């Protein structure tokens, strides 16, 4: 874990040093504000870990790693407008603190700055990284649009939900790992294995997140328990519950879900009761484990000494412990 702390320090220091400067200040301040709100910096961590694993020079991986973090923050800035979210990491969102036009434009600038940073890689890796990034950014837009579409749909298939979270969140983890492997000039086959490791791990994490929202303890989660239930979010849990419910259970779910008059705590209690009857938590945990196991097998197949894989394994465990 010693190396992991060192990476984290490197990334945090780099982000602190990277102030976006330009005029007018009202355009640049939101970028520095959002980047300064912190976070795990998961994506650049994955880039550095993968680069080092594949015998690369992590100093060369730092600029594109930073680009991926900037990109992630741009998606947060625009998603928060679309979701009309008032808070991000416990602080006012950019569109709340400034205004929506500024948040749109500052987000746009942030996407350009992400490209700028991703271009600071070298040699043949540079074009490959940019091509992968174009594909990834496209998929993330698709995932976000699917997510918004699902809100107004009566029925969503579990497979469509899984595809949506793959696009919306998992592909960026896969991309982050592959960028590290590309900087290290690793063979394409290993880079792809790491990409897929990121995809499966990402879906697994999202499923854990869904579980945690309903069954986690408030203090650890740091947000309202079962917010997903209250807001009728079509998570894996809810979709599975609808799929497995008998007529009585389905009627009960329909009584609460999509009912704006439902009293929140009663609604949570009632829906959780059905989740318990159907064993939804165990099903979701088993599903997440399935993804994590697939990810493990992909990592095993990467053609590099076993010892070099330890960092990524440790980091995945560290993240799982944080959220589960």
Contact positions vs a copy of itself (CB under 8 A): 22-24, 26-27, 78, 81-82, 100-102, 104-109, 111-113, 115-116, 119, 126-127, 130-131, 134, 137-138, 141-142, 144-146, 148-149
- Residue 111 or 221 having the CB closest to a copy of itself: 111
| Residue 112 or 286 with smaller CB distance to a copy of itself | 112
Longest distance between any two alpha carbons in the chain, whole Å: 62
CB 308 to a copy of itself: min, Å: 32
Shortest reach from residue 162's CB to a copy of itself, in Å = 15
Contact 182/203 with Cβ under 8 angstroms? no
Rounded Cα distance between 171 and 157, Å, is 20
Q: What is the three-class DSSP state of 54?
A: coil
DSSP 8-state class, residue 88: E
Least distance in angstroms from the C-beta of 188 to a copy of itself? 19
Give backbone dihedrals phi and psi of 88, rounded to 5 degrees, phi first.
-140, 125
Which residues are CB-neighbours of 301 under 8 A, at least 6 positions away? 193
Q: How far is the CB of 128 from a copy of itself (least distance, A)?
A: 11
Q: Reduce the secondary structure of 169-215 to three states and give it as a string.
A: HHHHHHHHHHHHHHHCCCCHHHHHHHHHHHHHHHHHHHHHHHHHHHH
* Residue 224 φ/ψ, nearest 5 degrees: -50, 130
Q: CB of residue 44 vs a copy of itself: minimum separation in angstroms?
A: 20
Nearer to a copy of itself, 144 or 169 (CB): 144
In angstroms, what is the minimal distance from the CB of 249 to a copy of itself? 30
Contacts of 303 (CB under 8 A, 6+ apart): 187, 189, 190
In degrees and rounded to multiples of 5, residue 36 shows phi and psi of -80, -10
Nearest to a copy of itself of 93, 144 (CB atom): 144
Expressed in angstroms, the distance from the first to the final Cα of the chain is 19
Residue 157 beta carbon to a copy of itself: minimum distance, rounded to whole angstroms:
14
CB closer to a copy of itself, 182 vs 280? 182
Measured from the CB atom, the residue of 18 and 115 that comes closer to a copy of itself is 115
- Output the six-digit token pair for 35: 């980047």
Residue closer to a copy of itself by CB (options 138, 218) is 138
């Amino acid at each position: 874990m010693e190396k992991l702390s060192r990476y984290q320090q490197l990334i945090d220091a780099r982000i602190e040093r990277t102030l976006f400067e330009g005029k007018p200040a009202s355009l640049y301040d939101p970028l520095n504000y959002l980047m300064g709100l912190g976070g795990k910096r998961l994506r650049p961590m994955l880039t550095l870990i993968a680069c080092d694993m594949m015998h690369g020079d992590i100093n060369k991986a730092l600029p594109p790693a930073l680009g991926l973090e900037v990109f992630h923050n741009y998606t947060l800035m625009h998603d928060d407008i679309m979701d009309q979210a008032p808070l991000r990491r416990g602080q006012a969102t950019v569109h709340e603190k400034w205004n929506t036009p500024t948040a749109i434009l500052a987000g746009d600038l942030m996407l350009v700055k992400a490209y700028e940073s991703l271009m600071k890689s070298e040699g043949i890796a540079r074009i490959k990284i940019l091509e992968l990034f174009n594909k990834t950014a496209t998929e993330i837009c698709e995932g976000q649009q699917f997510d918004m579409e699902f809100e107004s749909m009566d029925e969503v298939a579990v497979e469509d939900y899984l595809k949506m979270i793959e696009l919306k969140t998992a592909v960026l983890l896969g991309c982050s790992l592959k960028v590290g492997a590309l900087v290290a000039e690793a063979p394409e086959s290993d880079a792809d294995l790491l990409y897929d490791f990121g995809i499966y791990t990402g879906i697994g994490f999202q499923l854990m997140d869904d579980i945690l929202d309903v069954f986690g303890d408030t203090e650890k989660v740091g947000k309202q328990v079962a917010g997903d239930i209250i807001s009728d979010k079509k998570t894996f849990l809810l979709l599975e519950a609808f799929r497995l419910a008998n007529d009585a259970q389905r009627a009960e779910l329909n009584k609460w879900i999509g009912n704006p008059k439902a009293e929140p705590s009663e609604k949570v209690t009632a829906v959780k009761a059905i989740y318990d009857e159907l064993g939804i938590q165990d099903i979701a945990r088993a599903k997440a484990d399935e993804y994590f196991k697939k990810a493990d097998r992909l990592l095993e197949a990467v053609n590099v000494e076993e010892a070099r894989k330890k960092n990524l394994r440790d980091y995945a465990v560290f993240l799982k412990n944080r959220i589960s």
